[in-house]
Amino acid sequence: MEKNGFEMKDFGKFIQAFYFCAMKILDGKLVAQAVKDELKAKVSDLKTRGMRAPHLAAVLVGNNGASETYVASKVKTCEEIGYESTLVRFDADIEEKTLLNKIEDLNNNAGIDGILVQLPLPKQVSEEKVIHKLKPQKDVDGFHPLNIGKMVQGLPSFIPATPYGILLLLEHYKIETKGKHAVVLGRSNIVGRPVSILLGQNTPTGNCTVTVCHSHTKNIREICLQGDILVAALGRPEFLKADMVKDGAVVIDVGISRVPDNSKKKGYSIKGDVQFDAVAPKTSFITPVPGGVGAMTIAALMKNTFQAYLNRLETGND
């Protein structure tokens, strides 16, 4: 049907365009840069006062392509900010004991403030043993049970970098979380579990009612449709489709999967857990991939490292 040259089918496009205009990108690159600039200024100030810079040690086992990229990015960011960094590399067939001994060394090295062991680890090495071996005061990933326990109780601790980065993004864009229904897809120790706890806490970036969905959740589409805030952290490329998202939702995409793509020089393209093109027009805020949560993860790690440095100064480097 046409009325005054305006077809009804155009109405849908008009509505979509309206939402598209209302939709705002949560620019992780931009916010991460602001965080890094602030840290850089602090480091510069330390150095002018004759003090040493914070020092992060990164441990990389094997040659998983994605892990290589993440660790290289973390080391590069240290350089940008003015931190010291040490990269410790091991072959994929390393014995567990060797890695545990190295962590002991790093724990006891007075010049090192923060340690991260890039996950995943090869199957002969227990991630649990490795994480438990980290000195909690240097565990800037916030994976040690002591740090997780403190986080759960709302005590000062190192918050895992990706959840922390998400909170910083919500804070920067002044996104109201109080009273909202947050739906978290995924229950990993690194992202889903901690972010679900943090969003439910009585804090300025919390006070949500939180639902956690996982591989055994029934009616996942219906649950997602109730979410004012959706955090997709399943590691399943383009899992979250437009028909799972309510109009005006805030969508945080934590996914970063390498999907084979012959049209790309590298042979793969990076996909988030959200079908961005279809979902974005329905949202009020959405993170892109890349340039969203990934950038914030590194910025948050750098903040934790600075905090570890300050804590160690206060407590006499113990």
Q: Please give the positions annotated as active site.
A: 74, 118, 141
Identity of the residue, 162 or 305, whose beta carbon is nearer to ligand GUN in the bound complex = 162
Considering beta carbons, is residue 35 or 116 the nearer one to ligand GUN?
A: 116
Q: Which is nearer to ligand GUN, 46 or 197 (CB)?
A: 197
Nearer to ligand GUN, 119 or 242 (CB): 119
Binding site for ligand GUN (CB under 6 A): 116-119, 141, 161-162, 190, 297
* Alpha-helical segments (H) within 232-317: 276-279, 293-314
Question: How near is the Cβ of 63 to ligand GUN at its closest, in Å?
Answer: 15
Going 12 to 14 to 17 to 21, the CA torsion angle's sign is negative
| Cβ density class 282-317: b for 16+ within 10 Å, e for less | bbbbbbbbebbbbbbbbbbbbbbbbbbbebbeeeee
Which stretches within 154-255 are classed as H helix? Answer: 161-172, 192-200, 220-225
Phi, psi of 163 (to 5 degrees): -60, -40
Nearest Cα residue to 284 out of 28, 22, 31: 22
Min dist. Cβ of residue 195 to ligand GUN (A): 12
User: Locate tokens 């000195």: which residue?
Assistant: 135
Helix (H, G, I), strand (E, B) or coil at 223: helix
CB 161 within 8 A of CB 304: yes
Nearer to ligand GUN, 166 or 223 (CB): 166
